[in-house]
Structures are given as structure tokens and as C-alpha cells.
Structure 1
């Protein structure tokens, strides 16, 4: 094991490992219980399988969007490219400002859709699995909206980047 530094504390081991793992950046949007737009930036979105078409993402149960996920039925999962850096940052910041710009419209099932995303999956929430202070959300993919291709927006070492270049 001479090629590795040993980290015995599990929380630090997890954090250090995932800092070394690049993740795609997505934005999840939905409607809250009052029909208002809600959403957040996620780096945990992934395909769960193609037959049937399923996707999943994780969320902290203490997040501002958690009550909306409990009440919601449908979500829009936006994949982001390098041109969407500001959107990723805004959707990760103050929840009262996330929909302050006029860069989204009402999409299928009434969910907010950011029109400059590289793609958007429209899904129906199938299952929510509580795990400690977090949750895993499993979504049935209903349809996709395919936008303009762009180099992927990634999150790595606490920074946004695209393959081969840091953006902040």
C-alpha cells in the first residue's frame, strides 16, 4: 500500500476520495407544494438503468428543496455544459434567487425547464429512500429534451471545470 496515504477516519476518507472523483453537474427542478418552482444543483445524478429507463440523484433532507421533493410528482433533470456555469452556481446558492432570471420556462407536467441546458430528462418520482440525513430519489424517465451539445460541466476538487480546463 505504499502508493496510498491511509486515512483512518471514515468521514475524511470519504471526502478526500470524492474530491479526487470528477462528477457531472446537473440541475434538478420541480414544483413545490404551492406550485412554485424549486430546484438545486446536484453532482449525484446518474442513470440507474435503461430497461426500464431510470435515473437517480441524492439530496440532503435538510436542504431547502427537500419539502418540495416530498410533495412533488415530477422533476426535470438538466445536464449542464460549460456555458451553464452561472446556472450551476446560482442553483447551488440562495434558494430565493434560483429562479430570479428569465432563463426558464414551464415544461412538461408544469416543471421548470432551463432552456440553455444541454439536455433535460422529464421524470416521475418513483421512490424516495431515506438514508440517515440524506435521501436517494429514484425517477422513472418519461421523456427527454435534447439541446445543443457542449463540453460537459464537471465538479472536481471543489471547482467547476470542463474536461481539460478549470473554470473557477
Structure 2
């Protein structure tokens, strides 16, 4: 009789995966997922490096990110009514590293401009946007924050900074032209 463990074609890796805790499976799997690197800032100033930024909706224009409930910036994020998202290029790898560190002044030696109500906007990034918080919701061990886009700018064309397998890397275009959606 064929059991799941001895079925033809079942790899030993698949069998071993059943003995691994779900949170470890998630952690190891997500290390294989390349994600764009951003810096999220809120008034204070406070900020952190994030790979959880995503679009939610075009109408209305909504974006979101997640932050660990125990993160040092979590209190500032809980209090903020606005946030800025900075899309980073490969030239911003040091900025990403600095905003990922705990116990340091993350804004030290970083050029930024106050954008109303104390919201810090980093100066030397390829693109940024600001958003007004519309939802804050604890989800598991993280805080989901959704915001409606208010302002932003694309300043320069740059190779995107991504995070993959525990390190920063450069995103490289493989196709000669962007993929266009069917009408």
C-alpha cells in the first residue's frame, strides 16, 4: 500500500518538511522571496526598513505595510496619522541597513526634509509617497497599517533594491520591455 511517505516521486525534502514548525517553514520560504526594499517614516522622526510595503487599491489609492508589534518604532507608528514610504535603489543600500538597525539614530547623516506635520521625507531616494492612515489592525504578531496616498514624487530612474536570502540585491530587468496588461 502506498503511503504519503513512500509514494513514488516524493522527495526526502518534502518528507522532512513535515517535521518542521510552521513558523520556521514560513521564515525559510520567505527568504527565497525577493521583495522590494522601502523605508517607512513617521513624525517624530521615526522610521524603519520594510519589505512588506504593497499597493492595496487604485480607487481610492491605498497602500499598506506591516510592522512587528515589538519593534522599537511600533509606538511611533501607532500614534502617527500619516506616513511616508521611500522606494530604495541600489545606491540606497546603506540607508536600508541604517534604518534596519536597532539602538541607533536612524536619521544620523541622512538627508531629509520635513513634509508637513513633522513627516520626514528622505531626500536621496528614487521615489516616495505620503499617505494618511485609514486603518491600523493587529494581525498575528504584526500591525497592519493602511493609508490613502496624498502626495509623492518619482525623482530618478534607478535599479531597485531588493531583499533576498537575507541580503540586499539589485533587481535586474530580464525582459526587453515591461509586460503590459491586456485591455
> Structure 1 length normalisation: TM-score?
0.89
Of 20, 26, 32, the residue aligned with 1:20 is 32
Structure 1's consecutive aligned runs of 4 or more residues displaced over 6 angstroms after TM superposition are none
Deviations 1:118-155 (A, max 9, x none): 11110011101102321111111111121111100000
Displacement, 1:100?
Answer: 1.0
SS, match of residue 123 in structure 1: strand
Looking at secondary structure, tell me which structure has more strand per residue.
1
When the two chains are superposed, the root-mean-square deviation of aligned CA atoms in Å is 1.6
Q: Match of 1:152?
A: 160
Unpaired segments ≥5 residues, structure 1: none
Kindly report which structure 2 residues correspond to 1:29-44, keeping only aligned pairs within 5 A, or say none: 29-31=41-43, 36-44=44-52
Of 96, 102, 108, the residue aligned with 1:100 is 108
Q: Which has the larger radius of gyration?
A: 2
Unpaired segments ≥5 residues, structure 2: 1-8, 173-183
> Structure 2 length normalisation: TM-score?
0.82
* Count of aligned residue pairs for this structure pair: 160
Paired residues of 2:72 and 2:102 also in contact (CA < 8 A): no
SS, match of residue 97 in structure 1: coil
